[in-house]
Amino acid sequence: MIRKLSFALDEEEQALCDSAPEECFRHAIRRGALSPDEATARLSPRIAAAVRSIATGERLTAPPDRPRPLERSQEREMTRKILAGHPQLTQMLDERILGPDEALEVAQALDGILGRYTTGTRYAAP
């Protein structure tokens, strides 16, 4: 579990936090509230790369030789519903750059950074 980093969201970020967490995160990075290095310090390399991609708004590409685990389409669709407020993560999931478990891990890392309820739990914003 990622701990909330010690920085305060400004008014615009607070307004975006529940409805557009990726944009909230990008805004905090752009204004210098935290650095991408701080945000990704405790993450695995793959999850850190996805978080950095969201921070910059740049497209993440899948390594060509990366084996993909078998997944059920039901699992992918359920993950898409959970990630409804995360357009860039949903795109990574749709393009199979990230698997469902990885996409949820990235969303949960962002939640920890922003101090949100964990995505996919009963208290998370819809």
pLDDT tens sequence across 16-75:
998 999 999 999 999 999 999 999 999 999 999 999 999 999 998 876 666 665 667 888
Domain spans of the chain, in order of start? 11-59+71-114
What is the rounded distance in angstroms from the CA atom of residue 54 to the CA atom of residue 33? Answer: 16
In SS3 terms, 6-52 reads as CCCCCHHHHHHHCCCHHHHHHHHHHCCCCCHHHHHCCCCHHHHHHHH
pTM, rounded to two decimals: 0.85
